[in-house]
Amino acid sequence: MHDILAFFSFSDPTVRIVSLGTVFLAMSASVVGTFAFLRKRALVGDAIAHAILPGIAIAFMLSGTKNPLVLMLGALVSGWLATWAMEYITEKTKLSSDTAVALVLSVFFGIGIMLLTHIQHSGSGNQSGLDQYLFGKAAGMTSQDLWTYSAVAVLLLLVVLGLYKELKVYTFNPDFAAASGLPVKSIRRVLNLVTVLAIAIGIQSVGVVLMAALLITPAAAARAWTSSLKVMLFLAALVGGISGLSGSLISYLSPAMPTGPWIVMTLSIITLLSLFFAPKRGALSRLLKQRRHSQKIVNENLLKVFYKLSIEKEGEQLELSQSELQAERAINKADFSAAIKRLKRKNWLLAEGEKLKLSSIGVVEAKRVVRLHRLWEMYLSQRLNLKEDHIHPNAESMEHIISPELEALLVKELDFPTQDPHNSPIPYTN
């Protein structure tokens, strides 16, 4: 507890630098990654992250220094080259885009590894820091690094804000962007450049392999909560920032723990939770919705059975036992008894000893379902000219879906019909 407080007081300059640095890195990667995610280019980021390695190695070999600016220049050049190569291979050859990505990734990385080992074995003294690019080393950040990162982060944000409209149009519909006269090529170049830039600084904190996570995962989490690009960018940056902070917190509390992987760990947990439990778009809420819908279908089908049988008995209050009811409609036993319970709870069905009967609101409900079924049959035969023996199955599914508004429109469109195509009456409630 004391340690946590010590961390959040930010009194230790190392803590301040490392946590601010990781937060900046994670946030800029998240913002750029959102665009990559929406363009379905998630793995391109992974490839660029790997492809940066030979650039760093060559920059080191040429300059002999480990100055981050020089190395970053090398990283930018090779990242840029890799992006271009991927686009070229996808466009000009018959290879598919994912092959192009995997190919560029592995070849560039192979060259990088070869150069790196060459440098290491040639032993030019100060080469040891280079492999931090492989796995990242957030804890070793200096204040000079921090200034570089924050400058880059601000630059990225400015680019995204300044070109927001262009980027948005290009991301969602490049053809439309081209047709409306936007400089598509330049937009793509800018987007590629900021992506490469974000990755080049990002691999310092989490390393080559986990960089892809920093790009995609926040975007995926944000996507589960919203459909608006603005909100999504903001949420992605927030998720990225929180993960960056918690990654540095964990490695502060327990020094054996590496920062980068814990950032990714927090990110992944937030994202998986979002994907499953987010309202509306989450997997769980979708499952619930599906279940509710299928329950509704069973309910309404049972009500229909009551209605049909009571018509045959000429309006007399109908009482059925559960087994009689079940004989009319093929529903498996578990679903059936669950549905009966639900209908009783809604007071649509009343129990009379062993028998069941419709309540007055149950009658209204049953009439509504039958009415929708018959109205839709009318519509299919009258307006779409379908044969009478073809319309029933479709109406069976539509009767559960048609909303009251649609019903009113149907009634008006068909001019208040009283009979369906099979000459059965259409039951109105009043």
Partner 1 sequence: MTCALLGSFLLLRKMAMLGDAISHAVLPGIVLAFMISGSRDNIIILIGASLAGLLVTLLIELLHKKVHLQEDASIGISFTWLFAIGVILISAYTEQVDLDQDCVLYGEIAYIPFDLLYFSKGELYFPRATLISGSLFLVSLLFLVFAYKGLKITSFNSDYAKSLGISTLAWHLVFMSMVSITTVLSFEIVGAILIVALLVVPPATAYLLTKRLKQMLLLAVLFAFLSALGGYYLAVMLNASIAGAMVTVAGIFFLLALIFTRLQRRLLKVDAFLDK
Q: Does 408 bind partner 1 (CB under 8 A)?
A: no
Q: Does 256 bind partner 1 (CB under 8 A)?
A: yes
What is the rounded CA–CA span in Å between residue 251 and residue 115? 31
Q: Least distance from C-beta 131 to partner 1, angstroms?
A: 4
Q: Does 173 bind partner 1 (CB under 8 A)?
A: no
By beta-carbon proximity to partner 1, the closer residue of 24 and 108 is 108
Q: Does 304 bind partner 1 (CB under 8 A)?
A: no
Q: Does 220 bind partner 1 (CB under 8 A)?
A: yes
Q: Does 111 bind partner 1 (CB under 8 A)?
A: yes
Select the residue interacting with partner 1 from 59, 115, 196, 378 (CB under 8 A): 115
Binding map of partner 1 across residues 368-397, x = CB under 8 A, - = no contact = ------------------------------
By beta-carbon proximity to partner 1, the closer residue of 114 and 384 is 114
By beta-carbon proximity to partner 1, the closer residue of 235 and 395 is 235
Q: Does 121 bind partner 1 (CB under 8 A)?
A: yes
What is the rounded CA–CA span in Å between residue 176 and residue 348? 53
Amino acid in position 409: L
By beta-carbon proximity to partner 1, the closer residue of 293 and 346 is 293
Q: Least distance from C-beta 31 to partner 1, angstroms?
A: 16
Q: Least distance from C-beta 217 to partner 1, angstroms?
A: 5
By beta-carbon proximity to partner 1, the closer residue of 294 and 419 is 294
Q: Does 118 bind partner 1 (CB under 8 A)?
A: yes
Q: Does 343 bind partner 1 (CB under 8 A)?
A: no
Q: Does 99 bind partner 1 (CB under 8 A)?
A: yes
Q: Least distance from C-beta 290 to partner 1, angstroms?
A: 11
Q: Does 258 bind partner 1 (CB under 8 A)?
A: yes
Query: Among the candidate windows 265-273, 297-305, 310-318, 364-372, which touches partner 1 by CB under 8 A?
Result: 265-273
Q: Does 341 bind partner 1 (CB under 8 A)?
A: no
Binders in 28-67 for partner 1, by CB under 8 A? 37, 40-43, 45-46, 50
User: Is the torsion defined by CA of 407, 408, 409, 413 positive or negative?
Assistant: positive
Q: Does 117 bind partner 1 (CB under 8 A)?
A: yes
Select the residue interacting with partner 1 from 63, 67, 106, 228 (CB under 8 A): 106
Q: Does 17 bind partner 1 (CB under 8 A)?
A: no
What is the rounded CA–CA span in Å between residue 72 and residue 178? 32
Select the residue interacting with partner 1 from 15, 77, 134, 350 (CB under 8 A): 134
CA-wise closest residue to 5 among 243, 248, 253, 238: 253
Q: Does 114 bind partner 1 (CB under 8 A)?
A: yes
Q: Least distance from C-beta 372 to partner 1, angstroms?
A: 29
Residues near partner 1 (CB under 8 A), total: 71
Q: Does 213 bind partner 1 (CB under 8 A)?
A: yes
Instruction: Report whether 245 contacts 294 (CB < 8 A).
Output: no
Q: Does 124 bind partner 1 (CB under 8 A)?
A: no
Residue with tokens 């109908």: 318
Q: Least distance from C-beta 215 to partner 1, angstroms?
A: 8
